[in-house]
Structure 1
Amino acid sequence: MTEAAKTPWHLWVVGGLSLLVNAFPVVDFTLTNLQNEFWLSPLTEAQRTFILGAPAWANVCWALGGIGAFVGSLLLLFRSRHALTAYLASIVGLAGSTYYQHILNGDTLRQLFQNVPVIVTGVIWVIMLGLIFYARAMTAKGVLR
């Protein structure tokens, strides 16, 4: 039986920070879909209509993206090789959300929110790809088991 590699200090930093960052989409998805008035209060009526009017498949992508990222971060902290699988599932959800928002509804999204969603989506893609490469590297080094 092979011994697992020692946990590097950066795994705790990356795992902890990513858990904090990836908690936001879980909270956002939950409170938005519960139509929490406090959470939705900063939005205009048109923005609410757009967000709450998303088709079921887009909501599934949103949930998969956000919850997958959060679970991936938990699994990273637990040193599980399945963190990579969760991050890959998350990127599938992110791809679906990106397609719905920016390809199918890009003009409407820009009219309602200006360029903010483009920037936010770009940052999310960079973070998620970084987490995928990190989890892959830690799996290859035997840190994730």
Structure 2
Amino acid sequence: MLNLFIAFLAGGLFGAGLFVSGMTDTTKVQGWLDVFGNWDPTLAFVMGGAMIPMAIAWLIRRRRVTALTGAALPPPPSREIDSKLILGSVLFGIGWGLAGLCPGPSIAALSYGGPGLYVFLAAMAAGMAVAPLLRARLDRTVPAE
């Protein structure tokens, strides 16, 4: 039960942070990505505000074997940069630039996002359904790096 409460609390804090920072406003996000036009640098503060506590959490994680709730911690993510990571990053960036949303902010904007948000969510769900199939195909065709 404690795990569910912590997840609820963390998710609520994350969603509130996305809303307050403007990450759920597609025009703000697209303004951040428009570096050669009417660039809006304010989301750099949001990114910095996210990276600093995460860096501290990674330092703390190095010294811990279990979470505060006693559950085992997952292994650290791979630091390898391969073609699948690059392809996924490019696809994510294209979608973020076109829609002005990514998965977290789209969920946070559910209550007021309008029809465009629901098209984005449908496309995101389709992508999530297709991704395992594409990954299996890439695993068969891409040599190990």
Q: Decide: shared fold, TM above 0.5.
A: no
TM-score (norm. length: structure 2): 0.32
Which structure has the highest helix share of the two? Answer: 1
Structure ID, larger Rg = 2
